[in-house]
Structure 1
Amino acid sequence: MSTTTPETKTVLVIGATGKQGRAFIRSLLFPPSASTPSSPTSTTFPRSQAENWQVLAVTRDASAPPAQALLEEVKQHNVTSQVSLVEACLNTPSTLRAVFESHPNIYAVFVVLAYPGLGTPLTAQKEKAQGTLIADLAVEFGIKIFVYSSTIPIGPDPSDGIDESRKQKREVEYYIEDLGKKNPGLKWIVIRPGFFYENLEGMFGAIGATMYRDGLKKETTLTMVASEDLGRVVAGLLQNPEPYINKFLCVTSGPVTMREVLEAHKRATGKPMPAAPGFVGWILLKINKGAQDLVKEAEINHANRMSGKLPNFEEEVERAKSVCELQTYEQWKRNLVSGEAGGDEMSRRGSNDGRRASTSNWNNLSLMKLLTGRS
């Protein structure tokens, strides 16, 4: 009896060495076993098809530690032949164009643009130019599926946001949507991730938790998600894109208050969530504009959701959940604890990445910048 060799599809990942890009590559090429009790399982895409994919991982410098760490990880999982590093600078259009020209059979593009940093001024923002450039190239080179990672809107209008990066992401969304209307061959999907659980890990996570605990109203909810779940969602979208073409997905397990997060942490670990001394949170909220803006945006987003000014929010959340199961914070933390003890490998890998990032850097800030109010 003859067997049919599955079609090989190539996906270009922009932001491949970051939290979202790494989570996506893991889920696509070496997801945790569906038989692992603590691992969420997909509801739409068959894991047996993972071997059909080739990943082109875009990086500015293939010799840099993040790029080499990605290669080491894929080597450990025996999928080295499925991942290739390609160098390009998003601020130099000719280098990105060269990638498309050198790989004419790209099926899909997944775009995660680097966050420029908390409080970065508008003059330093380049996300809109980068995002529109990539979308134009996707049309020009006939890319079948274009997935763009944005952010959950603060309100119905981009001006509702304070952070310039968030505003520019919304502008890129509008550009993609309009581009799709002019070019029906472009099949786009916009994902809108919530605040990552991993951002509450490590020293900077403790500072962030303290800031939200002390700065938010008790009833204010945050939209949160695990980065590994974001990776599962995007992998699922590429395996079964048709139901989600030209749609938005808010990727969050559901809004929760900071008090609920703290209680979930204690249930999952038996210990209170690590927190910074109260005066640290007080200093942040008094002198650091970036921190102030994060809290303000969380309050505005909560108010808009509660008042119905984001009428599509629940629909977009359910749309993401239809792709795969999304962990609550408590489930994620329990998996993390068991992973550190040798259990769920995906939880261990994802949290370790998050811990390294949050220990040395949180939203591209240093501890000195946070406590002196500098952006």
Structure 2
Amino acid sequence: MTSPNLLSILVIGGTGAQGRNVVRELVRDKKYAVTVLTRDVSSTSAVALTELGNVTLIPGSYETEKGLREALKGQHGVYVNFNSFAMTESMEYFWTFRLYEIAVQSGVKRLIYSGGNNRPKGHRYAEEYRSSHQATSGRLSEWLESQPLDLIEWTILNGVVYTEMLSVLLRPVVLPDNTHVFAAPIGDGFIPFAEVATYGKYVRWAFDNPSRSVGKRIPLPTYPTTLKGVAEAFEKATGKKAAAKDVTQDVWFEAAKSYTDPDAKQPSSIPASKSDDTRFTFRQSFGGWWNIWKALRPDAEAIKQAQELADEVYPDRFKSVEDWMRATGYTGEAKAEIKHDADRRKKLQ
């Protein structure tokens, strides 16, 4: 049971990697009560949230009016992080707009959005930089910035690339001589890494400090790293030999076939439709994603400003990929859901 005097926060995407960290931070000292809208209240990830205490599960979907209305009723605030890979881009726009409208109708006071920069816009919308999920969150962030604060007091968090992806999409392949090769079509570009726990720390800070977060876009602290930098960090952290290998996108996506069909339209749960141009393939979206990072060069001043705030919000954070690898005992091994590593290794050698 939760106290009726606690501020209640709805977390959209609460059972995901980012959402779990947000829920954990909000309830860690029982200052907030958290509501999570989920299609399956009996799932392992959902039940695990209730064990944290002060968490209420509501069965339903954020892609329905009923689900949103029931979940937003009586909430002080809402944290929004839709799963861009489980819904079409067009539906993510619609349901973000609809959530906002229903939140206003429901009397919600605060809305924190997991967003980001409109990076394709920075490349004049050239098609090769069109990463679908980044374009969506970037546009929605810009839209939210134009909304008046007397309807809902909003805050936007500029997102990061999870360092944990080094165990999934960015994991190394191991050669017969035990060299760990980090291969990606990125050239000398940089990836803005930060551990996923950063989201939880910043959401909690934003709800705790409305005078400093309302009406603002808050950049999360990152440690931008090149592919060569990742390999060097791995050698220092593990003592194992590592190398960076720049490959073409064709080579990278060929290797990705060992765990996904890069040319199947997303989300894969929707039956294929050749006439539906609102859906994108893994190859199209991640092709743009790789091109964005290939062109990225860190903004030293922006990084400095983000780190200064982070010293207050998240002082015990990791400050480099090497720090993260050492602290987590990173070995480069794949997560359980990524299989057929031997096939992938052959294609990237």
TM-score (norm 2): 0.73
2:100 to 135, 138, 155: 135
Aligned-residue offset at 1:137: 2.0
- Is residue 2:17 matched to residue 1:19? yes
Higher relative contact order (CA 8 A, sep 6+): 1
The residue type equivalent to 1:323 in the other structure is V
**Residues 89-168 of structure 1 aligned to structure 2 (within 5 Å):** 89-101=61-73, 104=74, 106-116=75-85, 125-157=90-122, 159=125, 161-168=129-136
Aligned-residue offset at 1:109: 0.7
**Residues 39-118 of structure 1 aligned to structure 2 (within 5 Å):** 50-71=29-50, 74=51, 79-80=52-53, 82-101=54-73, 104=74, 106-116=75-85
Aligned-residue offset at 1:298: 4.0
User: Which deviations, in whole Å up to 9, do the C-alpha atoms of 1:338-365 show, x marking residues without a partner?
Assistant: xx9xxxxxxxxxx9xxx89x43159xxx
**Residues 216-365 of structure 1 aligned to structure 2 (within 5 Å):** 216-217=186-187, 219-272=188-241, 282-284=251-253, 288=262, 290-291=282-283, 293-294=285-286, 296-301=288-293, 303=295, 305=297, 315=305, 319=309, 322-325=312-315, 326-327=317-318, 328-337=320-329, 358-360=335-337
**Identical positions, percent:** 21
Residue in structure 1 matched with residue 140 of structure 2 by the alignment = 172
Name the SS of the counterpart of 1:146 in structure 2: strand
Aligned-residue offset at 1:228: 1.1
Residue in structure 1 matched with residue 162 of structure 2 by the alignment = 196
The residue type equivalent to 1:170 in the other structure is G
Q: Which has the higher helix share?
A: 1
Q: Label 1:280 to 1:174 Cα distance change in 2 as closer, same or farther (>3 A).
A: closer
The residue type equivalent to 2:313 in the other structure is V
Structure 2 regions of 5+ residues with no counterpart? 174-179, 264-281
Q: Label 1:191 to 1:317 Cα distance change in 2 as closer, same or farther (>3 A).
A: farther
Distance 2:132 2:248 in 1: 28
Distance 1:187 1:305 in 2: 33
1:6 touches 1:52 (CA, 8 Å); kept in 2?
no
1:57 touches 1:83 (CA, 8 Å); kept in 2?
yes
User: Which deviations, in whole Å up to 9, do the C-alpha atoms of 1:290-347 show, x marking residues without a partner?
Assistant: 35753543443563656x8x9977656655565323422222222212xx9xxxxxxx
Distance 2:326 2:230 in 1: 13
Distance 2:182 2:93 in 1: 29
Structure 1 regions of 5+ residues with no counterpart? 31-49, 341-350
The residue type equivalent to 2:321 in the other structure is Y
1:154 touches 1:304 (CA, 8 Å); kept in 2?
no
1:249 touches 1:319 (CA, 8 Å); kept in 2?
no
Q: Label 1:193 to 1:274 Cα distance change in 2 as closer, same or farther (>3 A).
A: farther
Name the SS of the counterpart of 1:98 in structure 2: helix
1:13 touches 1:110 (CA, 8 Å); kept in 2?
yes
Q: Label 1:212 to 1:93 Cα distance change in 2 as closer, same or farther (>3 A).
A: farther
Distance 2:19 2:107 in 1: 22
TM-score (norm 1): 0.68
1:248 touches 1:316 (CA, 8 Å); kept in 2?
no
Distance 1:98 1:6 in 2: 17
Residue in structure 1 matched with residue 185 of structure 2 by the alignment = 215
Distance 1:166 1:133 in 2: 20
The residue type equivalent to 1:64 in the other structure is S
Distance 2:306 2:121 in 1: 14
Distance 2:160 2:14 in 1: 19
User: Number of matched residues?
Assistant: 308
1:215 touches 1:285 (CA, 8 Å); kept in 2?
no
User: Which deviations, in whole Å up to 9, do the C-alpha atoms of 1:70-104 show, x marking residues without a partner?
Assistant: 33xx2xxxx43x11111221221122112223xx2
2:131 touches 2:288 (CA, 8 Å); kept in 1?
no
Residue in structure 2 matched with residue 43 of structure 1 by the alignment = none
